[in-house]
Structure 1
């Protein structure tokens, strides 16, 4: 990190060199000629220097820079005062940092939640066809949409077992963060001279808190084996609308059925899920409308300075949240390559798989290659914005998007505009169309690329350079390789592991689904953070992903467990009778991590299998439906 003293030296040295070189070049006569103007010029230069240095100092403060002593200016140091600031912010935010049933939290992250729809989980013997399941989903949806939204109290509704409601955790992805609240608090302190107090922290959190609206939607799962078939009806909250400091979003869905088979022969189990899956994500108005309005009303920022002030604030968000400083903040790409050993087909978020498949079928580019481009460009962060203003999952600039979106509209019958650039479906379709165009220019047709063999690796190099640098940039092999080599590595991992997608980690029968359920030990409802698979004690438990063993050992309630982490998720295997790996081991899809058992809080021999999104070192939070991730 650059320290303030170093910044001062940089300006000092540059100023001395400027005058030294200038004196040599101008000569004595020019100095005499300009002598009447040297004093005002010097004053202007000094003022400019002071303003710029002050600006950089504020930026360093906002992004976690260090002072000359080496101690950080912000909460990033471990002083009692900074720890107090952190506690104030986390208590104001609540969920994402502290549980909603904590009496000391304000819970502004979940203070404005609205839900509609009702339904109780149930099951019945016998199966349903996908058509029958779709009809039931439509009927339930019509009933839900006829109702109005009701406000919920997070203290009683969420409690300790569930922090957010959306089954895909999209609400948590765009909820308030420490960095967002603390950046504005620091800005209040630095620009308006307000003392940092708990009341100020609460005020900022309240001002920028999000609003979430959900519908409780039916999901139908039919589990069939050789001798029987069971239909499960269970309900999940899915996000309809979110108004946040990062933008105002509306989410759209369509009914999709997926079938996967686990095991083989007499032990084969077929799982057919029918549910409302995400399609388009709509940005309502200007994405930055809310943050612009807050800067103008709270800090009196003018229209002329709004873009640079907003960029500084956004960098402050990231600087505090990532606990690192971005010195080259106006020229960075903003994304770091993931370790390839942690990547497998399971790393592709379920809400994007249908879209990637749709793009693949249309443009004849394999799903594993499209997913690799997305991983390289944005790590599946659909709200990503680079310093070059490339946006969305596939990092497309507005000008490029505008020049290609018409072709996508013609091909798919859509009516996307530039305002849809962040929409995952629009972004993936446009990005894939661009790749198809560049490959076709080179090979006559995308089908002439050797996707089945290894020829695609070198064959995609030139098109990758165009995608990254622009179609008119002069080709540079070094730059092309720097961009494409990570994509090749991701693609090889996705391609090699796709055969195993959809398999359950153990042979057995699903007996309990993900989500709210009746507590099998009595005491009302509980939030079930995974699925239960009944099986005999000692049945091999296989890893469903490549990754690293985050923890292997005993855990209260779960008995013996193994937690594997890949680039996107944590995978929990619980109630084991035997553990076959140790913390720190690397595993591959299909490796045996342990044997099933009946340890811990259990009503009978089974495997509890859970999947959570990565949130720091804590794996026991942000749970999502395992069947959504397992579906191919």
Structure 2
């Protein structure tokens, strides 16, 4: 736990910087009467924001019992509305959209909110990433209070109106993951076993963070031991409405601002929302406290992105592990990442002018494919290739020959540009590339999946399982599927002895351990023994519960990252 407490201090500093920067930009971009009035509110907002991350203060600079009530009230309203329009549909729309058409084909889901907590359905967690947060609503009200220079006001009617007006619409389809894997028999022979995991995949989402449609293709992965995994992988993400467009228009109407203040107003509120709700500063802490990248492994590369990196390699000959390293260094694998100063966007941080030129050249739509991770990777790889990586011998000494290209791609110009690039940019990519290429991991323990991920019905009761249960004998060694920083603990009525490990993208959970082989705060290497299978906590027998979630995000199916 001490690792996460250290990080909290850095998070608070980053939040204040982000909010103040957004406020200043708002004023500089539009010196209207409204903007001038905000000058008086800056100090009001700054005091709140500098205190909130640590104290959760909403009604004043000092935390109070009322603050807890306000946050609970907003979270409850947001959770209810996040799943108010959640539907199962037959599949992707060939024409039009589910949001616009609906109809008898849609099956409304009404069981995702349980005991005040929402458990989403998408196998990859995209619905949870796009869902509204309590910070979205609170930031709107906070900004309104500051703009009107009044004391904090968070009426139930306003909270209910905002959560209803801005609630998302989600549409998922049924799918499955089919695994065939070898199991050694008592006589030493090998038998291939098969298991089928029923899942749901998001096909459309209409949210304040954008309106998207998702298309899939069946993919089969073959392994050295003869096993296979067959599943539907993302093929395309289509943007039907730009990111934040709905939100921006709503804010202008809500605040009665002028249309030319839309972008700056949205930026201020969005920055505030992310500051309240997010946990996005973990990577900065990880890099500052653990300077080298021994925590990195190819486990942290999202499966859908791995498919696109490998596709790009097949087209241009640049190894997938190098492309993945460049993408992580540029965007932390976030396809919606945007550089506020340059406008560079997406996984590969392509500039607006380069995107407008190369996207259509490579068969993509400039607007509709802007948030499409496949398009972003293909365009970025094309640019790296044309910049000189096509001349690199990837079987020889590849680092130095890539330096001129990385110097150009990373925007280093002027005096000692190459040396500055080597120190600040290229060295990170090189180290990550080596880790991605060479550090491979497997399952934490070998065994049968005794309980799958997601919603399930047990003895007539619908329940949500945040990971998979793998049956194994008491005392079986558990190996880490990743590198990262570790924390340990005990929960008598749930996880028992547990371990959480965080790398640069995911958090991995290991529950019900008989004992630990590591200590709290240790830096772990992939494949390292971290503990032993047991049945501590709420457990019916020896097994390992293994869970995976994006840092600050929701639980996803562990089969997405396991071979």
Indicate if the aligned counterparts of 1:363 and 1:433 stay in contact, CA closer than 8 A.
yes
Q: Judging changes above 3 Å, is the alpha-carbon distance between structure 1 residues 435 and 57 closer, same or farther for their aligned structure 2 residues?
A: farther
Q: Partner residue of 2:446?
A: 507
How far the C-alpha of 1:572 sits from its partner, in A, is 2.4
Indicate if the aligned counterparts of 1:553 and 1:579 stay in contact, CA closer than 8 A.
no
Q: Judging changes above 3 Å, is the alpha-carbon distance between structure 1 residues 606 and 463 closer, same or farther for their aligned structure 2 residues?
A: same
How far the C-alpha of 1:216 sits from its partner, in A, is 1.8
Please state whether the residue corresponding to 1:630 is helix, strand or coil: coil
Once residues 322 and 57 of structure 1 are traced to their aligned partners in structure 2, the CA distance between those partners, rounded to angstroms, is 27
Q: Judging changes above 3 Å, is the alpha-carbon distance between structure 1 residues 536 and 335 closer, same or farther for their aligned structure 2 residues?
A: closer
Q: Which moved more, 1:522-531 or 1:572-581?
A: 522-531
Q: Partner residue of 1:260?
A: 223
Once residues 328 and 240 of structure 2 are traced to their aligned partners in structure 1, the CA distance between those partners, rounded to angstroms, is 26
Once residues 539 and 77 of structure 2 are traced to their aligned partners in structure 1, the CA distance between those partners, rounded to angstroms, is 36
Unaligned runs of 5+ in 1: 12-47, 95-106, 119-144, 262-267, 326-333, 410-414, 441-445, 617-621
Please state whether the residue corresponding to 2:84 is helix, strand or coil: coil
Query: 1:451 aligned to 2:394?
Result: yes
Once residues 76 and 567 of structure 1 are traced to their aligned partners in structure 2, the CA distance between those partners, rounded to angstroms, is 35
Q: Partner residue of 2:343?
A: 389
Q: TM-score, normalised by structure 2?
A: 0.80
Once residues 138 and 200 of structure 2 are traced to their aligned partners in structure 1, the CA distance between those partners, rounded to angstroms, is 30
Indicate if the aligned counterparts of 1:393 and 1:422 stay in contact, CA closer than 8 A.
no
How far the C-alpha of 1:212 sits from its partner, in A, is 1.0
How far the C-alpha of 1:350 sits from its partner, in A, is 1.7
Q: Judging changes above 3 Å, is the alpha-carbon distance between structure 1 residues 480 and 153 closer, same or farther for their aligned structure 2 residues?
A: same
Once residues 456 and 192 of structure 2 are traced to their aligned partners in structure 1, the CA distance between those partners, rounded to angstroms, is 21
Once residues 247 and 238 of structure 1 are traced to their aligned partners in structure 2, the CA distance between those partners, rounded to angstroms, is 18
Q: Find 1:79's aligned residue among 63, 72, 76.
A: 63
Query: 1:113 aligned to 2:86?
Result: yes
Q: Partner residue of 2:198?
A: 235
Query: 1:366 aligned to 2:319?
Result: yes
Query: 1:350 aligned to 2:335?
Result: no
How far the C-alpha of 1:600 sits from its partner, in A, is 4.1
Query: 1:245 aligned to 2:200?
Result: no
Once residues 238 and 546 of structure 1 are traced to their aligned partners in structure 2, the CA distance between those partners, rounded to angstroms, is 28
How far the C-alpha of 1:62 sits from its partner, in A, is 5.6
Please state whether the residue corresponding to 1:416 is helix, strand or coil: coil
Once residues 454 and 110 of structure 2 are traced to their aligned partners in structure 1, the CA distance between those partners, rounded to angstroms, is 19
Please state whether the residue corresponding to 1:196 is helix, strand or coil: coil
Q: Find 1:628's aligned residue among 556, 560, 563.
A: 560
Once residues 526 and 82 of structure 1 are traced to their aligned partners in structure 2, the CA distance between those partners, rounded to angstroms, is 31
Q: Name the count of aligned residue pairs.
A: 512
Indicate if the aligned counterparts of 1:343 and 1:567 stay in contact, CA closer than 8 A.
yes
Please state whether the residue corresponding to 1:615 is helix, strand or coil: coil
What is the alpha-carbon root mean square deviation over aligned residues? Answer: 3.6
Kindly provide the CA deviation profile for residues 531-570 of structure 1, in whole angstroms up to 9, marking residues without a partner as x: 2333333222111111122214455344333322222222
Q: Which moved more, 1:70-79 or 1:161-170?
A: 70-79
Q: Partner residue of 1:30?
A: none
Once residues 61 and 386 of structure 1 are traced to their aligned partners in structure 2, the CA distance between those partners, rounded to angstroms, is 28
How far the C-alpha of 1:489 sits from its partner, in A, is 3.0
Q: Partner residue of 1:490?
A: 432
Q: Partner residue of 1:589?
A: 526
Q: Partner residue of 1:186?
A: 142
Please state whether the residue corresponding to 1:420 is helix, strand or coil: coil
Q: Partner residue of 1:417?
A: 366
Q: Partner residue of 2:119?
A: 163
Kindly provide the CA deviation profile for residues 285-308 of structure 1, in whole angstroms up to 9, marking residues without a partner as x: 333430232133222332322232
Unaligned runs of 5+ in 2: 1-12, 25-30, 92-101, 184-188, 288-292
Once residues 419 and 40 of structure 2 are traced to their aligned partners in structure 1, the CA distance between those partners, rounded to angstroms, is 36
Once residues 192 and 62 of structure 1 are traced to their aligned partners in structure 2, the CA distance between those partners, rounded to angstroms, is 12
Q: Find 2:377's aligned residue among 383, 406, 428.
A: 428
Once residues 529 and 504 of structure 2 are traced to their aligned partners in structure 1, the CA distance between those partners, rounded to angstroms, is 20
Once residues 405 and 215 of structure 2 are traced to their aligned partners in structure 1, the CA distance between those partners, rounded to angstroms, is 33
Q: Which moved more, 1:200-209 or 1:530-539?
A: 530-539
Query: 1:150 aligned to 2:99?
Result: no
**Structure possessing the higher radius of gyration over alpha carbons:** 1
Query: 1:296 aligned to 2:252?
Result: yes
Q: Partner residue of 1:279?
A: 235
